[in-house]
Structure 1
Amino acid sequence: MTPLISDPLQPVFVFAGAAFSVCLLATICAPLITLTSQILASSRKKVFYDKFAKQLATMATTLGVLCFTTMAAGILHTALEEPALFEGPLRLPLMAALGVLTFAFALQVTYSLTWNSLKKNKALHKLLGLLAGLAMFTAVFLSLGLKRAVLTSGQSISSGSSFVDVFLTVYSIPIYSVFWPLLAQALIAGMGAAGGLGLCYLLMRREADNFGRDYYNFSAAYCAKCALFPSMLQTVPAALLVWMSQSLITPFTIQNPFLALWAAGIALPLLSCILWAVIAKSNTPMRHKPGMIIALFLLVTGFAVQMLAGLRIYGLL
């Protein structure tokens, strides 16, 4: 039987990749949480929602600078090592994905930096948040679709194909493709990741910001809920992804170590959910500092285990 780990360093690299992915997805999905919090601040007349939204937007922008700088370095390296990718027929979807991602991050930065200057024009500020969120989600769709094309039909696209033909080939994705549960899991899990990282960010910034005990009791419990519900929901597309991959998992039984590993990866974030539930229900949520950190570690570890199992099963690692 094929070993679970072919290289002792694989788990280290995969964990690092999972940690980066959690930060990136949190950056991408944070605008949806911040926009929702702004709407709740208006509808419920509670300023704490708006204050929390501003903090989370600042966290997402800071993470975005780190993530997108790292990605830019990786893209530059790829351009030097694989120039054909930027010269072949896939260059148009590649440039589109990079362009939308850059535009989305610019909107995210603008949304974060104009929080005070647009205080009297909240409708415009919310619109910026909505556009940033939609652009981020579009960038994820374009990027994952391009990755799928590279792994499947990318090499069969003629260099003489028109712009429209290339995009139709890349993004005409069958409804039964594993692309869809993967996309759903990425976006839903990203919201949970934003909540999980947000809790740790509250801890890091508490002494510097010092917004008062009442605010932190509210924001920690609210942030834990933002992490809890999406992280529970993302197990549905995660399980569907496994089910749709059963032709590659032989035998498709829990005795198969690859299937058992993937199932364990899906289950690990549920342990994080237990800790977030305790924090959300606590009258003093900021006292659960170890639980906040352990929950985030379990979340990253769960995604790392899923990545390791999935990449091994699909022969990409």
Structure 2
Amino acid sequence: MTMILCAAASALFMAALACAFLPFIAVWDRRLAVLRRRSLYDKSAGQVESISAGLNLLVAAAFSADLLAGGFIDRIMAGPWRFLWEALVMASAFAALCAVIVLFARRGLRSAFGLLTGFAATASSCLICVLMWAFTVGALHASAAGAEDAAKSFILVLSDVRSMDFLFFVLFSVALAASAAYGLALCWHILLRSRDDFGRDFYTFTLSMRSRQASYAGLMLIMVAAVQYSLYPQMDGEWASALLPGVGGYAEAVLTCGLLCLPAAFALWHSMSRAALPMQKRSFAFMAMLLLAVGVYCALGRIS
């Protein structure tokens, strides 16, 4: 059960962070289309806007369903945490609404609503970053015991906000947001190949650009994860076994080796960016996202 909860939390964390970065990618591509007078950027931005709307809707629906149905997240939110939780749901819902408006807005308003989507999703990501930190250190589980314990755990987490551990967690989250957003956008461009046939030149240009951007973001993520590993060189054996129940006493070693999935994802993105025809290596994009998800699970597991 612990493995499933942590895997779901990691996946939701990645998706919510990507939601904050995708709108700015689209806005920047629109800007480059004007500055460099190349329609390739404009077409690329349109595809990014579609995945931004879909992912924002998916994340907002997941949060709203948990809140309305009294799901697992809603049950552990007590005392001061409940305010952050409800603010997170409202911010994600507003971001999803703006992301959908972008798809139907006129050219003059598209960038404005795109920026509004990015700011709302960024606010949502800041809240989920605090809640995810509280979840990894066990503060949310303690808050479920009652309002008094929730207030104590809230004060403890606020005191940790100024610590180096939380600072590197924020840097990890920022790098993860960029890596997940570029990686998802890369996969989305490939999936839309059969629907939006813009020609070989467009996909050669776009896939090379996205894979290069993803590799740069992935490199930053690797460096932050390496520093985090130095902060948490060892972990509790029982917790490691709970995260990987099928490997017995080797759980801690497997989680440590799982961090190597991050440089493996970087290698795949970098290889795709250097290819003359990156579409021929499209499987690398999906493999890299899978490796990124595994690496993030192992990295967050070591923090807990």
What interval of TM-score do these two structures reach, taking the shorter chain for normalisation?
0.7 to 0.9
2:269 alignment partner in structure 1 = 276
C-alpha distance 147-66 of structure 1, shift in aligned 2 (>3 A): closer
Of residues 127, 130, 137, the one that matches 1:145 is 130
Q: Which amino acid aligns with 1:306?
A: A
Q: Once the two structures are superposed, what CA deviation does each residue of 1:147-189 show, in whole Å capped at 9, x if it has no partner?
A: 5457449859769x9xxxx999875654225222222212221
Q: Once the two structures are superposed, what CA deviation does each residue of 1:34-63 show, in whole Å capped at 9, x if it has no partner?
A: 122222222211111121111011012112
Of residues 242, 252, 258, the one that matches 1:265 is 258
CA root-mean-square deviation: 3.4
1:97 alignment partner in structure 2 = 88
- Give the share of equivalent positions with the same residue, in percent: 23
On the 8 A contact 2:29/2:45 being kept in 1, the answer is yes
1:305 alignment partner in structure 2 = 298
Provide the secondary structure at the position in 1 that maps to 2:184. Answer: helix
C-alpha distance 183-78 of structure 1, shift in aligned 2 (>3 A): farther
Of residues 33, 40, 48, the one that matches 2:40 is 48
Q: How many Å apart are 1:237 and its aligned residue? A: 2.5
User: Where in structure 1 are there 5+ consecutive unaligned residues?
Assistant: 1-6, 251-255
On the 8 A contact 1:195/1:223 being kept in 2, the answer is yes
TM-score by length of 2: 0.78
1:127 alignment partner in structure 2 = 112
Q: Which amino acid aligns with 2:126?
A: F
Does residue 196 in structure 1 map to residue 183 in structure 2? Answer: yes
Of residues 169, 174, 186, the one that matches 1:187 is 174
Does residue 296 in structure 1 map to residue 295 in structure 2? Answer: no
1:37 alignment partner in structure 2 = 29
Q: Once the two structures are superposed, what CA deviation does each residue of 1:6-40 show, in whole Å capped at 9, x if it has no partner?
A: x7x83x66555544443333223211221222222
1:230 alignment partner in structure 2 = 217
Q: How many Å apart are 1:263 and its aligned residue? A: 4.3
Provide the secondary structure at the position in 2 that maps to 1:91. Answer: helix
- Distance across 2 between alignment mates of 1:304 and 1:82: 22
C-alpha distance 273-248 of structure 1, shift in aligned 2 (>3 A): closer
Of residues 189, 192, 202, the one that matches 1:215 is 202
On the 8 A contact 1:228/1:277 being kept in 2, the answer is yes
TM-score by length of 1: 0.75
C-alpha distance 279-108 of structure 1, shift in aligned 2 (>3 A): same
Provide the secondary structure at the position in 2 that maps to 1:175. Answer: coil
On the 8 A contact 1:269/1:302 being kept in 2, the answer is yes
- Distance across 1 between alignment mates of 2:118 and 2:258: 28
C-alpha distance 85-141 of structure 1, shift in aligned 2 (>3 A): same
C-alpha distance 204-234 of structure 1, shift in aligned 2 (>3 A): same
**Bigger share in helix:** 2
Pairing of 1:49-64 with structure 2 (within 5 A)? 49-64=41-56
Q: How many Å apart are 1:291 and its aligned residue? A: 1.8
- Distance across 2 between alignment mates of 1:244 and 1:192: 22
How many residues in Structure 1 have an aligned counterpart in Structure 2? Answer: 286
